[in-house]
Structure 1
Amino acid sequence: MNSERPEEPAEPAESEGQERGTPIGRRVLLGTLGLGALGVVAAPTLQRGMESFLAGAAENDPTGLTDLLPNGGGFRYYSVTSSTPRKNAENYRLKIDGLVDRPATYTLADLRAMPQTRMVKDVQCVTGWRVPGTPFEGVRLSRLLDAAGVRSSAGAVRFTCFDGAYTESLTLDQARRADVLVALRMQDKNLGHSHGGPVRLYVAPMYFYKSAKWLSGITVTEDVQPGYWENRGYDIDAWVGNSNGRDDEPTS
Structure 2
Amino acid sequence: MAALAAVGWLKRLCSVVLFLSQLYVLSGRGSLSLEHSDPQAQLSEVGLIPRSTHVPPSNIPEATGTPPYVILCPSNGPCSRLPPACMSCKTNNSCIYGKPAIFECQAKPQVHCIGPETFAINMTCQFCWQLPPSDYTCSNPTNCKTVSCPRERYRANCTVRDHIHCLGNRTFPKMLYCNWTGGYKWSTALALSITLGGFGADRFYLGQWREGLGKLFSFGGLGIWTLIDVLLIGVGYVGPADGSLYI
Q: Which structure carries more strand by proportion?
A: 1
Highest CA radius of gyration, 1 or 2? 2
TMscore range, shorter length: under 0.3
Task: Give the TM-score taking structure 2 as reference length.
Answer: 0.19
Q: Which has the higher contact order (CA 8 A, sep 6+)?
A: 1
